[in-house]
Chain A
């Protein structure tokens, strides 16, 4: 627990969030990290649709996808769904 964390008198009641969920970086929960084989990946975007955390983004300007490791919890659903087996879950 860090010194920036607030005391009970400072926080709103009932656990009301005082900062948006984008500021709670949940990516550090993961044990396994998805790594993509760029050769095998066909950019079919199935992983983007399946990711339960919305942590895989389609970047139209690059014509490619990107993992957002700040929010990826390492569940491995993307690797499981990938039709070309282009995603490997590696121990962090």
Chain B
């Protein structure tokens, strides 16, 4: 495990004792949890008031586990079984606007059915946290992992965080409540974990004692807003101080509300980083700066950009290549919305050739969504690396180290020939 806890006496590259640097780090137990269970465990510890959900593979274990916590009296959460995902998110939204801390989970077709409510939730500035066990969309029906479900929702006004392993999903769910509820943000958050690869795979997960999480997340704070009566009151639905939220806004006002959401996204860049840093202090675990996570990018000539669990496989290949003297690196985009533009430029502008890995398709869009955005961001860089797109892992297709190695070989060719022969390639596709 690359992110293992240091042992007593371990020193970092600068020769400083690592344990001395980790004074604030809390002692944590190791549990064997799969990604879904890690999500449920984090939600349980985050003092959630309301969970409304509808089951769907591969998210099933999350709400199943959480309903056990409710049945066993381990949490005081109001658990609402709804008749559809659209209703589940509607219930979460309604709860969230009363000031409740709210959580749900879904995937694939479930998330697609929530589509309308995703926009209502972000538009009402309701800080719902939702875990998505990323899964392919039908047809043909497929229950396995890819990013099609969340990629189509990238413009829905939700923050999107993609995790690499079960430990990170535990950590990210806890952070997500702090980010979503921050008064400068007030946006819902999706934490995406790769279906089955993470959702159903048992890993060692370090967990905090309950009180540490409760303290880290804290009580939900509400900003003040002006009501129709001209009263400054807490931003929540409250019979004592009635207000109307999310009503009609005609051409003379709608645009202004959308601009506010854009501002909240910009603020989120800063808040995600802050919350992550604070979390590093108590957990001892770091995921880059919370926005992007670089691996061996220092002096790298070729790099892969990817999201999610694939980064683990890529790191293994980077280690091998570095041992062979190949200057290979990896940039994992942890936060995809808001897009950390400056961090991406900084990380990639000195690289000569970049392969973007897309685990979804934008049919007819000349490449996948991650490719579009990375290439767009690099337009403003001082130096322009060659960029190619690699569509991979659709419908849960395995992507192995040899295939990753082949991508790096392509990048070496591109660097030598100064030409991107195939702008868009498909990894492991049969002709």
Residues in chain A within 8 A of chain B (CB atoms): 1, 5-8, 11-21
Contact = CB atoms under 8 A, between A and B. Distances in A.
Interface string B260-290: 1001000000000000000000000000000
17 contacts: A1-B252, A11-B256, A12-B225, A13-B125, A13-B186, A13-B260, A14-B125, A14-B246, A15-B123, A16-B225, A16-B235, A16-B243, A17-B227, A17-B228, A18-B226, A21-B228, A21-B244
How many B residues touch the partner, as a band? 20 to 34
Given A17-B244, A17-B247, A12 B226 contact: yes
B23 to A, nearest CB: 39
The interface centre, meaning the residue of B123, B228, B252, B255 with most chain A CB atoms within 10 A of its CB, is B228
Contact of B259 (A8, A20, A21): A8
Contacts of A11: 253, 256-257, 260
B24 to A, nearest CB: 34
Given A16-B244, A17-B247, A5 B225 contact: no
Contacts, number: 64
A5 B97 CA distance: 26
Contacts of A6: 256
Nearest to A22: B228
B8 interface: no
Contacts of A1: 252
Nearest to A2: B252
Given A8-B259, A20-B228, A15 B252 contact: no
Nearest to B122: A14
For the residues of A in contact with B, the DSSP-based class is: loop
Residue among A6, A7, A8 having the largest count of chain B Cβ atoms under 10 Å: A8
Pick from A6, A14, A16, A21 the residue with the most CB of B within 10 Å: A14
Contacts of B124: 14-15
B245 interface: yes
The 10 closest A-B pairs by CB, nearest first: A8-B256, A12-B225, A8-B259, A17-B244, A14-B125, A20-B228, A17-B228, A14-B124, A13-B125, A14-B245
The dominant DSSP class at the B interface is: loop
B324 interface: no
B249 interface: yes
B229 interface: yes
Contacts of B223: 13
B132 to A, nearest CB: 23
A11 B227 CA distance: 11
Contacts of A21: 228, 244
A20 B242 CA distance: 11
A20 B229 CA distance: 7
Contacts of A18: 226-228, 230
Nearest to A20: B228
A11 B260 CA distance: 9
Contacts of B249: 15
A14 B287 CA distance: 32
B228 A8 contact: no
A48 to B, nearest CB: 25
A16 B125 CA distance: 11
A76 B373 CA distance: 52
B226 A16 contact: yes
B228 A19 contact: yes
A76 B227 CA distance: 33
B185 to A, nearest CB: 11
Given A6-B256, A7-B256, A8-B256, A15 B246 contact: yes
Contacts of B97: 14
A8 B97 CA distance: 21
Interface in B216-243: 223, 225-230, 235, 243
Nearest to B264: A13
Contacts of B255: 8
A6 B260 CA distance: 13
Nearest to B259: A8
Interface string B120-160: 00011110000000000000000000000000000000000
Contacts of A17: 227-228, 243-244, 247
Nearest to A7: B256
Nearest to B250: A24
A24 to B, nearest CB: 9
B234 to A, nearest CB: 11
Contacts of B230: 18
